[in-house]
């Protein structure tokens, strides 16, 4: 993936990354740039909010790290 230059590109890349795991791809909550890394918060919850974070390298466009809370037990 090419260089990621703005929040829209960052959120699009993260939603595309999540799509194989979550059919809806998640709902982007926020995106901010910190020292060459895009930090994108995404809600992957269906009925309740479940917001996680995905870090995306702005130069390569690759996912560096992601973290999502575990689903609550019913």
**pTM metric for this prediction:** 0.86
The domain containing residue 52 runs over which residues?
Answer: 7-67
pLDDT band at residue 47 under the 50/70/90 scheme? confident
Domains in the chain: how many in total? 1
Measured in degrees and rounded to the nearest 5, phi and psi for residue 30 equal -160, 160
Residue 1 lies in a domain: no
Residue pLDDT, tens place only, 13-22: 999 999 998 8
Residue 22 C-alpha from the chain's centroid: 12
Beta carbons of 44 and 50 less than 8 angstroms apart? yes
pLDDT band at residue 74 under the 50/70/90 scheme? low
Residue 72 lies in a domain: no
Residue 42 lies in a domain: yes
The CATH number of the domain holding residue 15 is 3.10.450
Residue 70 is given by DSSP the state P
Residue 14 lies in a domain: yes
């Amino acid at each position: 993936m090419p260089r990621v230059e703005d929040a829209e590109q960052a959120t699009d890349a993260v939603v595309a990354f999540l799509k194989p795991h979550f059919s809806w791809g998640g709902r982007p909550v926020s995106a901010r740039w910190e020292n060459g890394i895009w930090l994108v918060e995404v809600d992957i919850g269906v009925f309740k909010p479940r917001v996680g974070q995905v870090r995306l390298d702005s130069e390569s466009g690759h996912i560096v790290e992601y973290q999502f809370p575990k689903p609550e037990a019913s």
